[in-house]
Structure 1
Amino acid sequence: MPININLRDIPTRELLLAYKEEMSEINITNVLLYLDFQKVARDLSKNYDSFIETFQLTEAKFTLMMLLYRENSKSLTPIELSKKAGVKKATITGLLAGLEKSEFIIREKNINDGRSTMIVLSKKGIAKLKEFLPYNYLKANKMMDVLSDVEKENLQLILNKIKGDTNNE
């Protein structure tokens, strides 16, 4: 697992100007924006991790629970969960073990394919989500309420533009 460093000593414009003499491809504005964007993303993630831990959850476990919750049957196979979450099956296996230990999921035989199992969100898992979700939505509201409606629309456009570029690499 990679180690995330949360850089606090961000290079100054002056330092980047000095580097530009040796590396002409540096676009100082782009580099500073990128570093600020990374810092905001990491700070948000760290803040959210602390928040979600107060509910005895992790973002990964919450994500899997929500993927199950969205299904009419409240169930998926481990492979389906892996694909929907965008992680390897080995990662899902460990997360499912933790969710099962917390009794948030149940494993059942797949009636359509006896060789596989279904991961089912348990009543305890549903209750945990119903306890957590109002606070989760309040947190999102609080964070985004600092922006005007126009700023939110612009931010969404900007994020989609950046996201589109990262998907093409």
Structure 2
Amino acid sequence: MLLLKDLPTVKSLEKFAERYPDADTHAISDFANLLRASSDISDALDKLLGRHGLLQGRWWILVLLMRQDDLTSSPSELAEKVGVTKATMTGFIDNLEREGLITRFMDSVDRRKFLIKLTPAGQQKLDDVMPYYHKKVHALMTVLANEERAAMLNSLKLLAANIDVMK
């Protein structure tokens, strides 16, 4: 993820508005701030997980497997849920399997497919990290009052529901 660090100044936005008279500089500024906050949060999560030998992609795979009643999923389902290509998922799976956090086995119904299962070591990794993760997420989210959080979530849902205007 590209981490936006240099937000536009009022002067730079005025320059844009001179060149592009239809530019809504307030919308651009708000959008840049949203991207900045998102990238900072994502970077902070990577650093938090990195202290435990994980990155977001590997973390979310373990979490998604734990959510399954049988701790099992297919690589393609995981790739879709995490939002990565099948090739990227293969790399994640290879690394997690090498560390013993997951195991790969043939699907008993369709022998052409593999399934992925969370191992006891993978569950232990989650058990070790999850309390720390919950504590840090709680600390971040409680800087907003419940009403502020609800308003933020409603706003984000509205933006996500209209993302097609960016295509």
Question: Which TM-score bucket, shorter chain as reference?
Answer: over 0.9
Query: 1:162 maps to what in 2?
Result: 159
89-98 vs 72-81, which deviates more? 72-81
Could you tell me which amino acid in structure 2 is paired with residue 7 of structure 1? Answer: K
RMSD between superposed Cα atoms in Å: 1.5
Unaligned runs of 5+ in 2: none
C-alpha spacing 1:5/1:71, structure 2 compared with 1 (3 Å): closer
Deviation, structure 1 residue 13: 1.6
Once residues 5 and 141 of structure 1 are traced to their aligned partners in structure 2, the CA distance between those partners, rounded to angstroms, is 23
User: 2:68, 2:147 → 1: CA distance?
Assistant: 33
Letter in 2 for 1:34: F
Alignment correspondent of 1:16: 13
Q: What is the alpha-carbon distance in structure 2 between the residues aligned to residue 18 and residue 86 of structure 1?
A: 37
Q: Distance in 2 between matches of 1:127 and 1:89?
A: 26
User: CA–CA distance in 1 between the matches of 2:97 and 2:68?
Assistant: 18
**TM score, norm. by length of structure 2:** 0.93
1:76 matched residue in structure 2: 73
Query: How far is the alpha carbon of 1:11 from its aligned partner?
Result: 2.2
| Selected match of 1:88 from 67, 85, 88 | 85
Separation (CA, whole Å) in 1 of partners of 2:35 and 2:123:
33
Per the alignment, residue 117 of structure 1 pairs with: 114
Q: Match for residue 6 of structure 1? A: 4
Match of 1:54 in 2: 51
For 2:115 and 2:16, the matched residues in 1 are separated by: 55
Q: Cα 1:12–1:60, aligned 2, differ >3 Å: closer, same or farther?
A: same
Cα distance in 2 between the residues matched to 1:140 and 1:161? 23
Greater shift in the superposed pair: 16-25 or 55-64: 16-25
The offset of 1:167, in angstroms, is 4.4
Q: Distance in 1 between matches of 2:123 and 2:31?
A: 38
Aligned residues: 166
* Whole-Å separation in 1 of the counterparts to 2:98 and 2:27: 46
Structure 1 unaligned runs (5+)?
A: none
Deviation at 1:5, TM superposition (A): 4.7
